[in-house]
Amino acid sequence: MASYKDKVVVVTGAGGGLGKAHAIEFAKRGAKVVVNDLGGDGDGTGKSDMADVVVEEIRALGGDAVANKASVSDKEGAQSIIDDAVNAYGTVDILVNNAGILRDKSFKNMDLGDWDVVMNVHLNGSAYVTKAAWNLMWKKNYGRILFTSSTSGIFGNFGQSNYGAAKMGMLGFMNVLAIEGVAKNIRVNTLAPSAETRLIGTIPGVEVNPDNPDPMRHPKLVSPAVLLLCDDDAPTNKTVHAGDGRFHSSATFVNKALQFGPDVTYEDLLEKKDELLDMSNVEEMNGLIRLRMREKQANEDN
């Protein structure tokens, strides 16, 4: 518990649901928390004082928190989130990119405006806030960054092409920043959560009670994974799934490459199609593994 004492934590989209649960758990352990939330509906429209309510709840528990009501999808708003953290507490140690919206439709029926707004909040919003925090973390040689993905992106889900594309983008973003941050003790991971929240309630045909969720679907059951991925001994470049009291990891795996000469043709590859697509003998691969492989090869060559 001591590892979070006086750590400065920014949680976006923390006015309710998952973000609120994360913010409270950090605060309980002595962290100073910036609670960001525009306070809009699940589709991104409107605004309210949800962030203030969470701040008051944290203070009632004896914690320390301030509110920010900017939109992560606005560059100046995103910068203000980090500025408020610095103005209140002097720095940022941990950033949890949680803010998100849903606008679900099959791709055939989707207006591209709904594509753009979902991408802007999830992917661009995460980039804007992370960029605002990155140089601070770089200069002090410490940072923990968490992106929020989803099984809708990692595995796919009907009617969520915009959301799924944005959520899979989190993994690509993580893969690169984990490499760029490793020398500066900036560790970057991704969470794929599952919980009963008001956001889920925007999905057609899905009924939830976010004010009184099923105990095994409560957002607070996800937060242990968030704290684990953001502590001093956090891993980097990992994706952890959390929800319903269950926790597991996923990763990218590759099979053995087929080697051909300079005259390879479509017919050559077609002949080896089954072998190409066979995933019975694979190994994990990510950017850090590739980096270490290149470093090892360079050392051997020297």
Same domain? For 288 and 180 the reply is: no
Taking a C-beta distance cutoff of 8 angstroms, is the pair 251, 284 a contact? Answer: yes
Same domain? For 52 and 190 the reply is: yes
Taking a C-beta distance cutoff of 8 angstroms, is the pair 282, 255 a contact? Answer: yes
Same domain? For 61 and 126 the reply is: yes
- Of 240, 245, 243, 219, which Cα lies nearest the Cα of 229? 240
The whole-number pLDDT of residue 47 equals: 75
Tens digit of pLDDT per residue, the chain (302 long)? 447 999 999 999 999 999 999 999 999 999 999 999 998 776 677 778 899 999 999 999 999 999 999 999 999 999 999 999 999 999 999 999 999 999 999 999 999 999 999 999 999 999 999 999 999 999 999 999 999 999 999 999 999 999 999 999 999 999 999 999 999 999 999 999 998 776 666 666 666 666 777 788 899 999 999 999 999 999 999 999 999 999 999 999 999 999 999 999 999 999 999 999 999 999 999 988 888 888 887 887 77
Q: Is 266 a catalytic site residue?
A: no
Give the number of other CB atoms < 10 A from CB of residue 112.
8
Same domain? For 80 and 102 the reply is: yes
State how far the Cα of 21 lies from the Cα of 220, in Å rounded to an integer: 5
Taking a C-beta distance cutoff of 8 angstroms, is the pair 38, 70 a contact? Answer: yes
State the pTM of this model. Answer: 0.93
The whole-number pLDDT of residue 188 equals: 98
State how far the Cα of 48 lies from the Cα of 167, in Å rounded to an integer: 25
Same domain? For 74 and 187 the reply is: yes
Q: Which domain CATH number covers 32?
A: 3.40.50.720
Same domain? For 189 and 293 the reply is: no
Same domain? For 281 and 231 the reply is: no
Same domain? For 125 and 210 the reply is: yes
HSE, CB side, 13 Å, CA atoms: give it for residue 205: 3
Q: Which pair of structure tokens corresponds to residue 39?
A: 């306070």
Q: Which of 4, 89, 128, 163 is catalytic?
A: 163
Helices (H) and strands (E) in the chain, counts: 11, 10
What is the domain range of residue 293?
Answer: 256-301
How many domains, in total, are found in the chain?
Answer: 2
